[in-house]
Structure 1
Amino acid sequence: MTHDVPEPEFRTRLSEITGYEGPAGRAGGIEETLARACAVLGVDTATVLRHEPPSQHLVAIAAAGLEEEVYQGVRVSVGAGFAGTVAARREPVVIDRVDETTVVNSLLWERGLRTMLGVPMLAGAELVGVLHVGSVDQRRFTTTDIEVVRLLADHLAAVLRSETLRQNQAATIALQRSLLPGKLPEIDGLRAAARYVPGAGAGLGGDWYDLFRLPGDRLGIVMGDVSGHGLDAAVIMGRLRSALRAYALDCDDPAEVLGKLDRKANHFEHGVMATVAYGVLDAGHEQLALSLAGHLPPVVVSAGRPAGLVTAPADPPIGLSLGTPRRRTTMVPLAPGTVAAFYTDGLVERRDRPVDEGMRQLTELLRVEDPERACSRVMAAMVGARPSPDDVALVVLLRPAGP
């Protein structure tokens, strides 16, 4: 590209707009930056539209000179109109006529804009959004103008991506905390403890556990793992958790509950995959009715008997089955003095430890003891001082031998 002024001038003008010197500086708010861009570039409007991948829309989130775009929630499809064309081409676009033949947003020609420049906001190969500026006067955007706006778009893409990640993380943490049991139910003749640790570097994900009372003094026990991490996985986890609880009130058979959950996921949650272990403990705590949807089996140990994996068929995961698979329920006896451990694969699987070896280690570790002590000992031995790359969830139940 042939520049009208030397490259240092680009940086000077960008610094005037963003209000910082160099990468270590502190950027102001997006609206404030857009207002400065209008002054430095000599334009009348500047707008940022964020790309929403699921719907393939651009949504106005910040503006200067044409704030109505934000207030009215302007949305443009990728590939449609001016901003949509910028997003689809992923290259700067200049138009010198603003009317219904060149743009889909009537606010632009109602504002009296005559010339517009749009630039894609990119983070590597990812389309973050579109930045466009406009003038009510007929003008020529020079190669210098285009380069400055392009650099500004790169800066705003980084700011917006950082803000989005931070907001998603905060929302995910709040959602996860609201969905995981703050306090396990107190059940006469039964003790329980649990642990949940998010995967290192991946943020909170879709692992969840749940214990809830059911009619007839029964207890529902859930351990689930939605594929993926971040806010999307946590939202899906929340929907599956709520649906499972609702089905559990209507159906006594765990296999039937998971069948309904699978049908719901296939119909409403396209592309979702989750493994779930769901068990119902009877009123006397003598038998656990268990159904597995692709989930790892619990480990059970009783006084005088070695620990072992529950022998139960692993039916297809939720959301991954075709048609209506036959789901099965296995009856697991729980004699007095029995401990049962439910867990997700983050506890037993590592890059340097196959899942089978991790399950064998868990089996060797589990013993009849207080569930809190069991959780602490298992986590210390299997997680230790190294952060887990995946989410870890663990629930330990004890049916005491005596009163």
Structure 2
Amino acid sequence: MRNPRIDYEAVFRALPGMVALLSPDLVYADANEDFLRLAGRTREQLIGRYIFDVFPENPNDPAAAGMRETRASMLRVVATGERDTMALVRYDIEDRERPGHWKQHFWSPVNAPVLAPDGNVVLVVHRVEEVTELIRARGGPGNDNSRARVLEAELYTRARELQEVNERLRRAQARDREVALALQDAMLPAPMPVGHHRAAVRYQPAVGNLNVCGDWYDLVDLPGDRIAVAVGDVVGHGLRAACVMGQLRSALSAAARVAEGPARALEALGLYARHIEGAESTTVVKTFIDWATHTITYSSAGHPPPALLHPDGRVTFLDQATDPPLGARPEHVPRPEAGTAFAEGATLVMYTDGLIERRDEDIDRGLARLAESLVRHGQAGAETLADALLADLLPPSGNTDDTALVIIRL
């Protein structure tokens, strides 16, 4: 079926509720039928005229503020390019059939921008909900029913304002998330061979606007047939965590190139982290892989243990050199280091806690689930294995924590 041609001008005319379009200098460009009917104006009386020439303030009411508040709202829209929801306003309109007679109206307006491709505001959409009947008293301005109706209208307007604030917050959070994700993407190394070995890497951001975290991975080519691999997790969310992550990843990458082993590299990182706000309690695990001796040397600062899948299908966790996270001790203490042998064809898996931890279960259950998945998909290539682990271990609806994953065939 072919898509019908939509007459948007006719749609605008028929929109329910009062809607008008104004230029940035607040001159009427158009108005729909409901606006004309409820405002008591013809199209000829509106189009091309300044809004407050058409609807001046009531001179008989020294406390009238509708014109001032409406102008301020529209000018905010023009200046910021953002929607503006007004509080309930009373706006008296002169009866054109009886000059000097003013009709009392209660309006709940929303003003929104229409942007040009360059981002400048070209029109202001002025939408008004006429709530006069809701507020007007049945038995006079002083009875209880009138006060109840005024309260009801005020509550309605406050709910509208809260909804608008929440929408602005959502948009701001979405922008922060996009910036943080872009920052993380720029700071994390792209998948590439390290020496003549290739690693499969994955970074899976958390679901939700504010849940961009500070997870990272790093791979460094070392002299000889060796590489250094790190995975870390900064506490916190958003841009701050992403910035701290970038600083720590760069510092550890540099330390790995000159340190004698992973423990010394983490000691240097710990000293550096003391001078970085937000770096405290960061967890990280560092491994040095040596193909000449078929050994893995490792050290962990409070991080989940790497998993080693052996060619015979066994899975062991490298958990013999675990120490507190960065900044957890008031004084510098040498960090532990351990080593293990590996056979050709083994697989090393390093990850952040988002892969295995769930709030409603013990971490051992998550480690067991990882081991089971490794055994089940262990014969697959590194890239296929990485995708299989994420599919097996992360919730289908998305995780509330970021996940970084590095897989290396040994």
- State the TM-score, normalized to the length of structure 2: 0.60
Partner residue of 2:294 out of 286, 295, 318: 286
Match of residue 326 from structure 1: 334
Shift in Å, 1:208: 0.4
Structure 1 match to 2:206: 199
Say yes or no: does 1:213 pair with 2:271. no
What corresponds to 2:70 in structure 1? 12
Moved more, 229-238 or 155-164: 155-164
- Aligned equivalents of 1:389 and 1:7: distance in 2? 47
* 8 Å contact kept, 1:309–1:363: no
Q: Which entry has the higher C-alpha Rg, 1 or 2?
A: 2
Q: How far apart are residue 284 of structure 1 and its match?
A: 2.2
Give me the whole-angstrom Cα distance separating, in 2, the residues matched to 1:372 and 1:393: 14
Asked if the contact 1:172–1:231 (Cα under 8 Å) also holds between the matched residues in 2, the reply is: yes
Q: Distance in 1 between matches of 2:308 and 2:332?
A: 30
Task: Give 1:156 deviation, angstroms.
Answer: 12
Deviations 1:176-223 (CA, angstroms, capped at 9, x unpaired): 1111121232443x4421211111113422000111201223101010
Alpha-carbon distance change, 5 to 17 in structure 1, aligned in 2, over 3 angstroms = farther
- Corresponding residue SS for 1:224: strand
Return the letter of the residue paired with 2:405: L
Aligned residue for 2:151? Answer: none
Q: 1:273 aligns with which of 281, 289, 294?
A: 281
Deviates more, 1:9-18 or 1:236-245: 9-18
SS at structure 1 position matched to 2:266: helix
The yes-or-no answer on 1:378 pairing with 2:378 is: no
Work out whether 1:392 is the aligned partner of 2:403. yes
CA contact (8 A) 1:270 1:319 kept: no
Q: How far did 1:395 drift?
A: 1.1
Q: Is the 8 A contact 1:185 1:212 kept in 2?
A: no
The answer as to 2:309 corresponding to 1:301 is yes
In the alignment, which residue of structure 2 is the partner of 1:347?
355
Inter-partner Cα distance in structure 2 for 1:163 and 1:285: 53
Q: How many residues align?
A: 277
Q: 1:360 aligns with which of 365, 368, 373?
A: 368
- Which whole-Å deviations, capped at 9, do the CAs of 1:66-118 have from their partners, x for residues lacking one? xxxxxxxxxxxxxxxxxxxxxxxxxxxxxxxxxxxxxxxxxxxxxxxxxxxxx
Does 2:177 correspond to 1:177?
Answer: no
**Matches of 1:213 and 1:233 in 2, distance apart?**
26
Greater mean deviation of Cα atoms: 258-267 or 345-354: 345-354
Counterpart of 1:396 in structure 2: which amino acid? I
Distance 2:331 2:84 in 1: 60
- Tell me the residue number matched to 1:108: none
Aligned partners of 1:285 and 1:334 also within 8 Å: no
Return the alpha-carbon distance in structure 2 between the equivalents of residues 387 and 347 of structure 1: 11
Counterparts of 1:26 and 1:273, CA distance in 2: 44
TM-score by length of 1: 0.61
Greater mean alpha carbon deviation, residues 194-203 or residues 226-235: 194-203
Query: In structure 1, which of residues 237, 242, 263 is the aligned counterpart of residue 250 of structure 2?
Result: 242
Q: Is the 8 A contact 2:220 2:256 kept in 1?
A: no
State the Cα distance separating 1:299 from its structure 2 match: 1.1
Q: CA deviation at 1:224?
A: 0.3
Q: Structure 1 vs Structure 2: percent identity of aligned residues?
A: 32
Label 1:16 to 1:338 Cα distance change in 2 as closer, same or farther (>3 A).
closer
Give the letter for the 2:364 counterpart: D
* 2:191 and 2:201 in contact (8 A); partners too: no
CA 1:285–1:183: 2 relative to 1, 3 Å: farther
Decide whether the 8 Å contact of 2:216 with 2:233 is kept in 1. yes
Alignment of 1:311 onto 2:319: yes
Q: Confirm or deny: 8 A CA contact 1:269 1:319 kept in the other structure.
A: no
**1:316: Cα distance to partner?**
1.4
In structure 2, do the counterparts of structure 1 residues 4 and 385 end up closer, same or farther at CA, with 3 Å as the change threshold?
A: farther
Hey, what does 1:123 align to over in structure 2? Answer: none
**8 Å contact 2:231–2:350 — kept in the other structure?**
yes
Structure 1: 5+ residue runs without aligned partners?
34-153
Report deviation, 1:6: 5.3
Partners in 2 of 1:10 and 1:344 — Cα distance? Answer: 55
Other-structure match for 1:26: 112
Partner SS state of residue 183, structure 1: coil
Q: Residues of 2 paired with 1:236 and 1:271: CA distance?
A: 6
| Distance change (3 Å), C-alpha of 1:160 and 1:364 | closer
Aligned-pair distance for 1:26? Answer: 2.6
For residues 248 and 18 of structure 1, the distance between their equivalents in structure 2, rounded to whole angstroms, comes to: 53
Aligned partner of 1:5: which letter?
A
* Partners of 1:356 and 1:160 in 2: CA distance: 41
Q: CA deviation at 1:392?
A: 0.8
Measure the CA separation in 1 of the matches of 2:328 and 2:395. 33
